[in-house]
Structure 1
């Protein structure tokens, strides 16, 4: 992504969330601001009618990961979490929908993408939420811990981190640096999605990887990092996370229906939650 340009993949994700609101599967994830924040650029019935299999699967994955992340957030708020950090927020609208009056939200993104989002909010006639702090961070020049601290995040108190649609685009050094930072505060947890490598996927998963990887690479934002589930869990444990929940994309549908758990298809996509419980503090 160029310094002066917002992320094109962030726009695509926002369009998928908006399209989902007019789809038959809309109850999976309701977002009343997804269409409004895109203004005239929001998709409509025509785009839904033209949706192919690949696009439908990605739309449902985008909706499901948001729903799961916010379900996990609700549980964390119930446990007492009062700080949320949304990493690579793009046009995510949780801050506009925040149902928790005492939950402080810190949105972190590249300065160009964040400036674009704030224009979209203003153009939609919406007010920036008073409980939200925007934290522009250029990761090539700034450090996340220092920028969050300057923005008012209390490092001695646990936080919940939502990090969706970002990890595949980062180097493993950058990923584990951020995870190490999150793990320094007992009680903090993180939700992110990741993909398994080509060789670990079934036939359908390999075809999907080839299709989506080519698409994001074509706009200059290629996928860089892939993980094997067991190896990632071991790495997270090594950082201090002792509560890990990993959902393979083939099992997501069963989570929101009465259908029995399906046999894994090795499709390659995962949503994972990792928490360092307070009891692990030295």
Structure 2
């Protein structure tokens, strides 16, 4: 990371629909993997010798379709969405080719580990991923912060803070990879390409949010808190001065108070 990086200019991007994201990437695949044979088995039987494979293909079609739809609509993608798509496709490949379920656990561990490595490698590029995850111009007024850092001669100190926060993010992905592996080995034990395999994959998807996402998010929150505290100490700016939504609310309250 350079000593005096200019913050990226904030682009007007359409916001992602959170409900569509959850629906297509989590809820619908879980439902189909659990109930797909019951709901669509008779329709799939003429086309698939093994209906479980057809159900698996139908389930992964939703996250794949959402990735394509979201990219067409917002013209935006990043390494996280790409690796998420790769993970879905690998799950489909394991089920269709009837590869040993041990490789499912390896895949579940490898994806977050690759993300963690990518976060660290990005420190050596002009576009560190810390700026995508935490120090994001869509959420934070990075231009105001940068101007204050320059005024207070704190740019180098802030860059060191971003490096520390990056290591915390990498640690969260490492934890996620370890938990993913052991959870997958515990839950997904049936032969791939079977109805039981589909059911276990859906259970894995559901449990991962509680067992994996919460601890990882806790570490990310620690990194975010450190980042915001650092911004305040190095710039003198309060939280409501730098968060885009909070800025508007503060301005509205100020206008109401001046009347």
TM-score band w.r.t. shorter chain: under 0.3
Structure holding more strand per residue: 1
**Greater RCO (CA < 8 Å, at least 6 residues apart):** 2
**TM-score, normalising length: structure 2:** 0.24
The structure with more helix, counted as a fraction of residues? 2
What is the TM-score when the length of structure 1 is the normalising length? 0.23
**Structure with the greater alpha carbon radius of gyration:** 2
